[in-house]
Structure 1
């Protein structure tokens, strides 16, 4: 065999993805994912991170290497420094998303990542897997700063963005749902991680049918829980992606929190992940951070809740058993004060939910949601009654006693 023939044979035997470890600056309308994600995509869909994929989470023929995404790399990209990134989740199966974000990304010198085939018709677990496949592929070849990675999405895509960011905030600096809402997870330790790290920029349109959910329900709830959140109602916009000026404004506000995130990451390294640790590595990092939190009275409760999170998320790992042992030692420790903090946290959440459901149900609703108003109002009444029953927050109790009669009157006027 001649040298040339041998060289041709070697080329023909090379892996199909061998040349995909780099990408040139500029816009790539359809980059193919080279490898399965290393990122934890299961946890945004569940309360655990098991070693194997649960049955039914993915289509039987799912192949990460068949997934594609839009990718934009700034023209002056230099791998020696880290770069911001915008991850966009579309409500459509396939889209040409970059034009909507082109001016923002070019001016801000931000990488743009938009996975394909993540429309509202795709089951949520697979939708999230595709997003994480695309993001991890970009993270493998580009120097992306997790403190400046912002996930966004329109409508149903915005809900996916929230589901991912609120479950694994360590990979992001903020979330920007467009004409969509999204509530925090139930786990207290995850709520605290979002509070500590993320900014949430809510954007809705003046005539968006989701405006009430975004402006009154989601914003009121997140603000009441202590999240760094802001809302923007765009004049003359319906249910659609806002213009460049609005996107830039939201992006800039998310960017303004980067120094705070970096300072926090210096004292809490597990809060910002440049790499993609495996299950044991991630559990170890969180266990170390939880121990650190427990050293001071102010953060003891958050540390205990993080221990609980570790045990729930990875019950099969030794780190979980260690966390469980620590939890058991504190179970009857009334002097530490963690129980009072737990009750205070529950109270804060209750009051925030009462105000949010009240604001949503008693405000303007689009015609497709009007029939749900009586149920919303009754739910608000029940929440305010719980606030009165608790009786510890004087201001909230006074507010509840004022709101309940008015809400009951609205229920009566609604015909029920």
Structure 2
């Protein structure tokens, strides 16, 4: 039997080993210094031959960082590394989930040759709300976003980094039968209304509040790879 075209690994260590002394202070409000954190990474088996890879940082709703099985072949096809945190589902605080997502991008870059032009943040349901809240706060950390089954906009004041946000791509995905459909559409309009040019909204026929299939995610990745245009 030939080996699978992807390789799964786990990063697990105390916070104090993952974050240097000069950077650890923001984490200590939400994590213990010696608390063990864990991320799941999935990468193409031939990653070295196809380097650099893009990166999908995923904020889960259910607390598992493992890539959904139906998306695995797509990630290989699109030459993407996946990383998701365990124990960062909807029962975890927003602050913990934000910091774990930011740290995930750093950890993946230590283990793989990552293309900085293809670092994407994605999430589903409550995880997508976290990702959409991160978009205006940390636009320097990610080049594109996929918000699936949920989204939140900023408050009354416009984001401070709108010029940088305009250099990013945003894809909103909701099923036609998703109870968050109207909300997703409304937030996407809010993004467009702020002058963000690279915003797409996908309504998936017949899908309720579940993850979209690989074809839909593949379309979203293709959009982010092309918007805004790379020089």
Aligned partners of 2:140 and 2:26: how far apart in 1? 21
Question: 1:31 pairs with 11, 21, 24, which one?
Answer: 11
CA contact (8 A) 1:69 1:113 kept: yes
Structure 1: how far apart are the matches of 2:208 and 2:122? 18
Show the counterpart of 1:139: 109
Alignment of 1:89-168 (within 5 A): 89-94=59-64, 96-168=66-138
Deviation at 1:128, TM superposition (A): 1.6
Which structure has the highest helix share of the two? 1
- Does 2:198 match 1:226? no
Alignment gaps of 5+ in structure 2: none
Cα contact 2:30–2:96 (8 A) shared by 1: yes
Distance in 1 between the 2:68 and 2:204 partners?
21
Task: Work out the number of aligned pairs and report it.
Answer: 222
Q: RCO higher in 1 or 2 (8 Å CA, sep ≥ 6)?
A: 2
Q: What is the deviation of 1:258?
A: 5.7
Q: Residue 238 of structure 1 corresponds to which residue in structure 2?
A: 208
Q: Is the 8 A contact 2:65 2:85 kept in 1?
A: no
State how far apart, in whole Å, the 2-side matches of 1:243 and 1:74 are.
19
Inter-CA distance 81–106: structure 2 relative to 1 (3 Å threshold): closer
Worse-matched range after superposition: 246-255 or 136-145: 136-145
Deviation at 1:176, TM superposition (A): 0.2
Q: Distance in 2 between matches of 1:73 and 1:132?
A: 19
- How far does residue 76 in structure 1 lie from its aligned partner after superposition? 1.8
Whether the aligned pair in 2 keeps the contact of 1:79 and 1:143 (CA below 8 Å) is no
The reply to whether residue 53 of structure 1 matches residue 26 of structure 2 is: yes
Tell me the C-alpha RMSD between the 2 structures: 2.6
Q: Is the 8 A contact 1:70 1:116 kept in 2?
A: yes
Deviation at 1:115, TM superposition (A): 1.1
Displacement, 1:29? 5.0
Give the structure with higher Rg (CA): 1
Matched, 1:193 2:164: yes
TM-score, scaled to structure 2: 0.85
Q: What is the distance in 1 between the residues matched to 2:205 and 2:13? A: 39
Q: Deviations 1:242-300 (Å, cap 9, x if unpaired)? A: 0111111111111112643xx4xxxxxxxxxxxxxxxxxxxxxxxxxxxxxxxxxxxxx
Contact 2:171 2:200 in 1 (8 A): yes
Unpaired stretches in structure 1, ≥5 consecutive residues:
1-24, 42-50, 264-416
Q: TM-score, normalised by structure 1?
A: 0.49
Q: 1:207, 1:237 within 8 Å by CA — same for their partners in 2? A: yes
Distance in 1 of aligned mates of 2:13 and 2:143: 23
3-state DSSP class of the match of 1:126? helix
Query: Is the 1:86–1:149 contact (alpha carbons within 8 Å) kept by the matching residues of 2?
Result: yes
* Superposition deviation, residue 134 in structure 1: 2.5
Aligned to 1:288: none
Tell me how far apart the structure 1 counterparts of residues 118 and 76 of structure 2 sit (CA, whole Å). Answer: 15
Q: How far apart are the structure 1 equivalents of 2:193 and 2:63? A: 35
Q: For the residues of structure 1 that align with 2:72 and 2:48, how far apart are their CA atoms?
A: 19
Match of 2:141 among 145, 166, 171: 171
Runs of 4+ in 1 over 4 A off after TM superposition: none
CA distance in 2, matches of 1:105, 1:159: 23
